[in-house]
Structure 1
């Protein structure tokens, strides 16, 4: 945004006006006859404000204002009011602000005054007044923290006036100036605003955004989550460097030259690491074209072990790293990762992936998100939730609730159950009477078998029932699982319909214990880790960059995460079968 208050001058006049203008700018005022040359003092006071000395700055600015006139006095009063507010003295700030003529305040002082008044309007539950209060001011004249605050205030005002896209755009511009919880909360707000758009509006608005617009990656992520195409690759894709790799094949195959795999081959996570390792090697050896040298490094399942393994992999010349697997391990590596050696972590870390790094996971939160989108795509917006007591169930339910409510749905009721569910029929009947049009089950197979008859008696047998992937845990006997018929859940494409490059599930599970039962999911996950590694450039730099993986359709979300659209499956006569169409 340009500064609309900058003085306009004609070029031919500048020849003789330049010395006078320089004097005026140095003096910081437009009233030449009466204004003292106070600009250096003004700047020094503002420097105190930026250094956190708000009270000292406020006192100094107010003193300067007492001896100034005209435009300079208005600017000093506006800045003094802002400083007193920052110092916690709102009464003094309001008293000074009331003396300011906004028409005679320009530049950064005008932006601070607008921000001050906008935040007062928000605090007074009058956000619709914010656009008018910010009009005529330019946040680019402020430091990064105040720019972010200005944009957040702007977003509140735009949302209050019904402009959800404008509010999301303002928040996207604020993102770079935020950190920690403030940044997380802002990103959640952007997701909420975009979630309220229908598919056609979201697609058209995303396509209209220019290259480099801060909102594009957020809009693109929303499109990916809905299974919709991107207008163009994510803006972060060009930040990746693939020059060290051999030229890409026609299908996009472009693996690294030397690959390190970090897994907990010993320790408590070793049982989970086995299927992941074997799945990765199955994909690796199925590829007949030149493959990278591959080395496995044992992390021991600890954060320190993961950091040491990563450092060793870098020191030994590997140009790409897959792993580690444990959540705490991933957080440790991401916290100190060398951006020069990129990685694909096999879990969500406690910190976001740094530039040049990705995260791929089978997290329970993903189950909740895709389940909500599945129901919303079928116009189910009032959902009964049945939640297990384990950590996976709780995480899936929380993600489901957030996603459903972001997109205009509601929770008809929550029924919590233990490992052996008792009689919850009264709660189910109550939810049915409240108009619940679907059910989300975040429980394991044995719990679902105990609940299915109660759901049927409460009238839910004919309504859509969706579960998380943990539904298959504890299943496998058709005569027992027949009561689960009709429950839809996110499964693995490999088990449901097969995947190019891998033998059928039945063949592999007969040969490898690490591909049987619950381990099959981790085996498919390991296979997809190889697939992402080998086709990473295609995945990141193509607008249609998706991979048909063993766990589902894989795409980048533009924020360092690989997301998947699962193969939807159900039980039929107690046996898992793919749902026709397989997607949303």
Structure 2
């Protein structure tokens, strides 16, 4: 009976919306001729936005930039479709027309500075400072402190709490001791546990994404591999590359990256010509590449792989005339696992996302923080940058919430806030030249 009712509502809504899309709330809204995909997405959001999320995202992905921008401009901030449409725009590098409605409250903070700086008064930082995750927590902690101490204006007091023994207890203790903002936890399961409390008395900047979305007023910040895959797909589509050969590494993180890349590319009208695992027998790779090239035109090769696996595949790719001149884009892990200068040289021309440390000057952040502290050396540098950006989000949250069109320049990339309380990272792209990672475009 419930299912039948949904179909009746959907059919009625589609008939009403066949000619236009209009928002039911928040004042006058422009009407515009709607595409069938946007019309369907709008009605699905009205019926059950959460349950229909996957279909809504697929429908919005099928729109070109002009149609997505035009239709999104016709929605009010509290329309149930606006968070989806606004996020789709952000991921394409487009500017949403207005801020997202998430019930923010910044009344207890000091007045905002001209640049948007408006930190809380007393911050509690929940990190696993002991136990199995302490190794990951330390660079995050030190990155946060680097940003915190680089700020010369009035700063909040900060207190660290060890969340290893239980996040709920640490959160309650922080609240009882007067914290008006909480940063953390870092563990995904702990984020889920905290976010089951729909009405958190003190808002949270979670340093991961849980199985539940962030409650109103709270935020999730994560180095999610899925976000990286989506960003890579959008980058290649923006370069006009729609036919992509995907080469994947063996670990779970890279598989998640490649799966998200594939899903986004196909949803936006692109084609994954073939997908080849680099963890299999290396001797079989030349024949696999020959078979892939025979399937159709290849505009780009996407390496969801570490640097050593990518370097081992380059000679075979270069020997294929149909692949030798294709664009080459890699995951952030492409800078890891390389042991020799010869391997590094093979990566020349590969574009990949990396921290912004070598591309822009950030207050209190040296270009090579690993030279100053071991907690920022090697792969830990990304977590150090992540911690630095957690401070920026803490201090500029109101700016992020009210100005989605203007990213905050961070150490991991450009920071923006979507309508679901997730911080989106627009990567800073680099390219390997003569064995050195250089800012793409010479910036």
Per the normalisation by structure 1, the TM-score is 0.69
The residue aligned with 1:499 is 361
Cα drift, residue 354 of structure 1: 1.8
Cα drift, residue 201 of structure 1: 1.6
The residue aligned with 1:474 is 337
C-alpha change, 1:228 and 1:458, in structure 2 (3 Å) is: same
2:38 is the counterpart of 1:165: yes
The residue aligned with 1:245 is 109
**RMSD (Å) for aligned C-alpha atoms:** 2.5
2:125 is the counterpart of 1:261: yes
C-alpha change, 1:248 and 1:147, in structure 2 (3 Å) is: farther
The residue aligned with 1:150 is 9
Count of aligned residue pairs for this structure pair: 426
Contact 1:477 1:574 in 2 (8 A): no
3-state secondary structure, aligned to 2:415: strand
Deviates more, 1:417-426 or 1:386-395: 417-426
User: 1:386 is matched with which residue: 236, 247, 263?
Assistant: 247
For residues 270-285 of structure 1, the aligned pairs below 5 Å read 270-285=134-149
User: C-alpha distance in 2, partners of 1:157/1:438?
Assistant: 43
The residue aligned with 1:190 is 56
The residue aligned with 2:324 is 461
Contact 1:419 1:447 in 2 (8 A): no
Unpaired stretches in structure 2, ≥5 consecutive residues: 19-33
C-alpha change, 1:272 and 1:337, in structure 2 (3 Å) is: farther
Post-superposition Cα deviations, 1:372-392, rounded to whole Å, max 9, x if no partner, equal: 101111221121111112110
Cα drift, residue 491 of structure 1: 0.9
C-alpha change, 1:298 and 1:420, in structure 2 (3 Å) is: farther
Contact 1:421 1:447 in 2 (8 A): no
For residues 403-414 of structure 1, the aligned pairs below 5 Å read 403-414=264-275
Contact 1:152 1:171 in 2 (8 A): no
Post-superposition Cα deviations, 1:314-368, rounded to whole Å, max 9, x if no partner, equal: 2221111111111112111112364221111111112221222111111111111
Post-superposition Cα deviations, 1:157-192, rounded to whole Å, max 9, x if no partner, equal: 989x9611111110111135xxxxxxx551111111
User: C-alpha distance in 2, partners of 1:190/1:253?
Assistant: 35
2:115 is the counterpart of 1:289: no
User: C-alpha distance in 2, partners of 1:361/1:152?
Assistant: 38
The residue aligned with 1:558 is 419
C-alpha change, 1:406 and 1:573, in structure 2 (3 Å) is: same
Contact 2:388 2:411 in 1 (8 A): yes
Contact 1:276 1:524 in 2 (8 A): yes
Contact 2:276 2:288 in 1 (8 A): yes
3-state secondary structure, aligned to 1:505: coil
User: C-alpha distance in 1, partners of 2:182/2:198?
Assistant: 11
The residue aligned with 2:21 is none
Contact 2:89 2:96 in 1 (8 A): yes
C-alpha change, 1:483 and 1:299, in structure 2 (3 Å) is: same
C-alpha change, 1:319 and 1:285, in structure 2 (3 Å) is: same
Contact 2:77 2:98 in 1 (8 A): no
Contact 1:478 1:573 in 2 (8 A): no
User: C-alpha distance in 2, partners of 1:224/1:516?
Assistant: 31
State the structure with more CA Rg: 1
2:307 is the counterpart of 1:448: no
2:380 is the counterpart of 1:484: no
User: C-alpha distance in 1, partners of 2:415/2:338?
Assistant: 26
User: 2:186 is matched with which residue: 303, 319, 325?
Assistant: 325
The residue aligned with 1:217 is 83
User: 1:231 is matched with which residue: 89, 97, 101?
Assistant: 97
User: C-alpha distance in 1, partners of 2:175/2:8?
Assistant: 40
User: 2:47 is matched with which residue: 174, 184, 192?
Assistant: 174
The residue aligned with 2:29 is none
Contact 1:499 1:550 in 2 (8 A): no
Contact 1:262 1:299 in 2 (8 A): yes
Contact 2:219 2:421 in 1 (8 A): yes
C-alpha change, 1:310 and 1:337, in structure 2 (3 Å) is: farther
The residue aligned with 1:201 is 67
Contact 2:122 2:181 in 1 (8 A): yes
Post-superposition Cα deviations, 1:209-254, rounded to whole Å, max 9, x if no partner, equal: 2343222222111111111112111133xx1111111111111111
Contact 1:498 1:504 in 2 (8 A): no
Post-superposition Cα deviations, 1:26-80, rounded to whole Å, max 9, x if no partner, equal: xxxxxxxxxxxxxxxxxxxxxxxxxxxxxxxxxxxxxxxxxxxxxxxxxxxxxxx
Cα drift, residue 539 of structure 1: 0.3
Unpaired stretches in structure 1, ≥5 consecutive residues: 1-141, 177-183
Deviates more, 1:420-429 or 1:254-263: 420-429
Q: Which has the higher helix share?
A: 1
Cα drift, residue 480 of structure 1: 2.9
User: C-alpha distance in 2, partners of 1:576/1:145?
Assistant: 57
User: C-alpha distance in 2, partners of 1:225/1:572?
Assistant: 27
User: C-alpha distance in 2, partners of 1:292/1:149?
Assistant: 53
3-state secondary structure, aligned to 1:329: helix
Contact 1:148 1:173 in 2 (8 A): no
3-state secondary structure, aligned to 2:52: helix
Per the normalisation by structure 2, the TM-score is 0.90
